[in-house]
Structure 1
Amino acid sequence: MTGESGRAATAGERHRRRLRAVRVRATVIAVLAVASALVIGGTLLVQGLRAELSGDVRDAARGRAREVARVIEAGRGVPAPTVTDPDEEFLQVVDAAGRVVAASGNVRGQPALARLEPGRDASVKTPLDEDRFLVVAVGARDGDRDLVVLDGRTPAGVAEATGTVTRLLLIGSPALLLLAAGATWAAVGRALRRVARAEAARRRFVSDASHELRSPLAAVRQHTEVALAHPARADAGTLAATVHEEAVRMQRLVDDLLLLARADEGAPPAARRPVDLDDLVLAEARRLRASTGLRIDTTGVGAARVTGDEDALRRLVRNLGENAARYARARVAFTLTGAGESFVRLAVEDDGPGIPAADRRRVFERFVRLDESRTREAGGAGLGLAIVAEVAAAHGGKASVEDGARFVVTLPSGE
């Protein structure tokens, strides 16, 4: 047992390391995905904002240049244009030869700061600022002269706005990455804790199943080895009876294990049809009367129908009956009610010692024996009530223990 415990502990530690590695990888992948999304999204946001704000500056410059062009084309001559903010805007009116005809005060005396066709725009250097200005050109007709009105504006506001957004993204992104890492770490941890509990249950199930199967195999081997060692003293009938008994026990255990394995794998249910549950209960009562010396009370059994797998429901009723008969002193009582109701209630009660309140929930767990001192013949593998719970759950019901020795199963009615 020491070696098996050591191997189990080593396997458990390896499993924990694998789960931890999965958790780390999932968190790293999530952080990288969020970081990529932030980089791509942030870049698109800044570029979109820059394009939108630059468009606003361009539209404002074009609108002001058109106002000046309308004044010229109205025949009022070429006005001396003015600007609201000399540090951020300039105006020039240029003739076809590129000579400045009129200019705002902040660029008066300067040559044409851009050579553009009407309707075009460009980014140019100016003596007003180190930053480049966005200049738009609007055509105007002054008599027989073709003129171009140039309105230049600094895009400093665009740079400031996009710079602010970029700084906010740089500041907020690490916090978002930390939040994503923490959320992923916690979520994956919760998911893996469920996996770890399931893996521990699976290993325990396999270990318990192996132990239970070893017992009948050991008994068969022991009896056959004795018969081989002392053939003259061997009784063929006794040996055959022993082997048959242990083979039946193994077959039932294997059937139980397969049923529970299918339930764990979420196997699709068998074809379901209306089942008269009272017929199954009365049949089990007749079997117990014939095989035990107990008084079997069925006066509380009424008609009740459910929809389900008849074989599985018969197994449920038999397991409850055998469990009650195993611990009863003299009496087992079946009660079945619920005809015409939304739920059917099956109760099986014996006059045995009952289940302590602290053990009433775990009694439906697999391989649970509340009385560890009982023999194989009196006990079993500890799977009967687990199967009862699985079958009840598969049919939309539940199993529970009430008042010590009363086992109750509720199932949706099939009426």
Structure 2
Amino acid sequence: MRIRVTLAAVLVVGLALLAGAFVLVTLLGSVLTAQVCTAVRERAAELSGSAVRASSTSTELVQVIDRSGVVVGGRDIGRLASPGPACVKVEPSGYPEDFVFAASSLESGGEVIVGRPLVDVLDSTRFVSRVLVVGVPVMMLVVGGVTWAVTGRMLAPVSAIRREVDEITAGELHRRVPAVRRDEIGLLARTMNRMLDRLQSSHESRQRFVSDASHELRSPIAAIRQHAEVAQAHPERTTVDELAAIVLDEDLRLQQLVDDLLLLARSDEDHTEPRLTPVDLDDLLFAEAEWLRRATSLTIDTSAVSAGQVLGDEGALARMIHNLADNAACYARSRISFALTESAGTVVLIVSDDGPGIPPEDRFRVFDRFVRLTSARSRETGGTGLGLAIVAEVIRRHRGTIRITAASTFEVRLPRGDRAVAQSR
């Protein structure tokens, strides 16, 4: 880039200087020739009153022509053609340079012709041309040197950024590039640092995810191994039915955990839009409420559920509603309430319970992965800490939002069906 910028600057300046030099020399010759023409015309007018006494000098040619066209005075260089009222440039016989001639009429009917050489004009233009022949390359060299130095100084931070980024590895994501300037390069450095912040955050999140997932997977595996070893060493202490029941429970926990992990992993890797099909959230809510009535002794209130349709993945939305309902069932004392309304192009889903609720300082943290706020939500009760993380991910992929508006109330907002189509376009 440094070489290209320098060559471009030298080329542009060189072309501009060459064009300017050509124009300067041309204008200089034209102006000086015009001055000689003016002087010659004035001299011819001056001599027209005393043409008979007019004579040529070393710097001036004069011819006097009578009415019949015969040369009657001045330098004998042959008959000069009359230039008329305008100046003409002619190289007379016996002279190595051009002259400018002008004529003036005599009262007797003839005319006087005066000519002066253009040697001074040619000398001046030659001198300026020589100066430009030397000056233009020197100026191009100066421009090239200055451009090379300035671009090198400007691109030095870019080289420093490149070297720093080249040395950053997955184990050194805490390093940052220098961002001390306040120009576009400084803006680039700050943008790269923000990118490194995101990469570091994502890397640390993945590390925590792998660590937490490994820890969660070890628990059911260790439980199955423990009971199997006890049954093998002391078969009289257990029965096949008891061992099968324990292994089945732990296997179900393990399967649920693996399914949740796979769902989140696919969500992290898949950046495509979910399948857009019309989904009636009220039908999903009624189905979930019916399941809760059969599986629990809680009072399920669906009186505030009205029609609400969105565009999205029905399976993912059903999973989101199930996880919210399961979370409410784990904390509720006696009652869970569902509500569904449409407001200003948005479908609003509310799930609340009469449990102890979530403290305000934890209402953002509960949507992180493997987060358990109390001992009530422990491994023994079947929780993995992934349910609300899956809820947040499903809602994000459907261009919605979720927040905890009260201690035990979750509010989900999703674009209505027709609005979701407009946003996807």
Q: TM-score, normalised by structure 2?
A: 0.68
Cα deviations across residues 345-372 of structure 1 (Å, max 9, x unaligned)? 1111111110111111111111111115
Q: Does 1:247 align with 2:214?
A: no
Cα shift at 1:379: 5.3
Q: Give the alignment's Cα RMSD to 1 decimal.
A: 4.0
CA pair 401-97 structure 1, distance change in 2 beyond 3 A = farther
Secondary structure at the aligned position of 2:300 is classed as: strand
Give runs of aligned pairs for residues 29-178 of structure 1, distance below 5 A: 33=1, 35-61=2-28, 63-64=30-31, 99-100=96-97, 133-134=128-129, 169=147, 172-173=150-151, 176-177=154-155
Secondary structure at the aligned position of 2:307 is classed as: coil
Match of 1:389 among 392, 397, 401: 392
Q: What CA distance in whole angstroms lies between the structure 1 residues aligned with 2:93 and 2:196?
A: 77
- In structure 2, the residue matched to 1:10 is none
CA pair 213-184 structure 1, distance change in 2 beyond 3 A = same
Give runs of aligned pairs for residues 278-297 of structure 1, distance below 5 A: 278-297=282-301
Secondary structure at the aligned position of 2:301 is classed as: strand
Query: Match for 1:214: what amino acid?
Result: R
Match of 2:363 among 348, 357, 360: 360
Give runs of aligned pairs for residues 254-403 of structure 1, distance below 5 A: 254-338=258-342, 341-372=344-375, 374-378=377-381, 380-403=383-406
Q: Percent identity?
A: 41
Q: Does 1:182 align with 2:177?
A: no
Cα deviations across residues 184-215 of structure 1 (Å, max 9, x unaligned)? 33221121111111111111111111111111
Q: What CA distance in whole angstroms lies between the structure 2 residues aligned with 1:292 and 1:100?
A: 119
Q: Mark the runs of 5 or more structure 1 residues left unpaired by the alignment.
A: 1-32, 82-91, 115-122, 127-132, 136-152
Secondary structure at the aligned position of 1:224 is classed as: helix
Give runs of aligned pairs for residues 196-207 of structure 1, distance below 5 A: 196-207=200-211
Secondary structure at the aligned position of 1:393 is classed as: helix
Secondary structure at the aligned position of 1:368 is classed as: coil
2:336–2:351 contact (8 Å) kept in structure 1 = yes
Q: What CA distance in whole angstroms lies between the structure 2 residues aligned with 1:97 and 1:222?
A: 127
Q: Does 1:228 align with 2:226?
A: no
Secondary structure at the aligned position of 1:333 is classed as: strand
Mark the structure with the bigger radius of gyration.
Answer: 2
CA pair 65-96 structure 1, distance change in 2 beyond 3 A = farther
CA pair 50-284 structure 1, distance change in 2 beyond 3 A = same
CA pair 93-336 structure 1, distance change in 2 beyond 3 A = same
Q: What CA distance in whole angstroms lies between the structure 2 residues aligned with 1:374 and 1:320?
A: 14
Q: Mark the runs of 5 or more structure 2 residues left unpaired by the alignment.
A: 45-55, 61-88, 101-115, 158-182, 419-425
Q: What CA distance in whole angstroms lies between the structure 2 residues aligned with 1:154 and 1:298?
A: 93
Q: What CA distance in whole angstroms lies between the structure 1 residues aligned with 2:132 and 2:18?
A: 15
CA pair 61-291 structure 1, distance change in 2 beyond 3 A = same
Q: What CA distance in whole angstroms lies between the structure 1 residues aligned with 2:325 and 2:93?
A: 110
- In structure 2, the residue matched to 1:208 is 212
Q: What CA distance in whole angstroms lies between the structure 1 residues aligned with 2:140 and 2:117?
A: 30
1:57–1:155 contact (8 Å) kept in structure 2 = no
1:78–1:102 contact (8 Å) kept in structure 2 = no
Query: Match for 1:134: what amino acid?
Result: S
1:46–1:166 contact (8 Å) kept in structure 2 = no
2:372–2:378 contact (8 Å) kept in structure 1 = no
Q: What CA distance in whole angstroms lies between the structure 2 residues aligned with 1:101 and 1:361?
A: 95
1:80–1:102 contact (8 Å) kept in structure 2 = no
Query: Match for 2:337: what amino acid?
Result: A
Q: What CA distance in whole angstroms lies between the structure 2 residues aligned with 1:263 and 1:98?
A: 96
Aligned pair count reads 336
CA pair 256-93 structure 1, distance change in 2 beyond 3 A = farther
Cα deviations across residues 268-313 of structure 1 (Å, max 9, x unaligned)? 3443311111111111111111111211111111121111111111
1:281–1:334 contact (8 Å) kept in structure 2 = yes
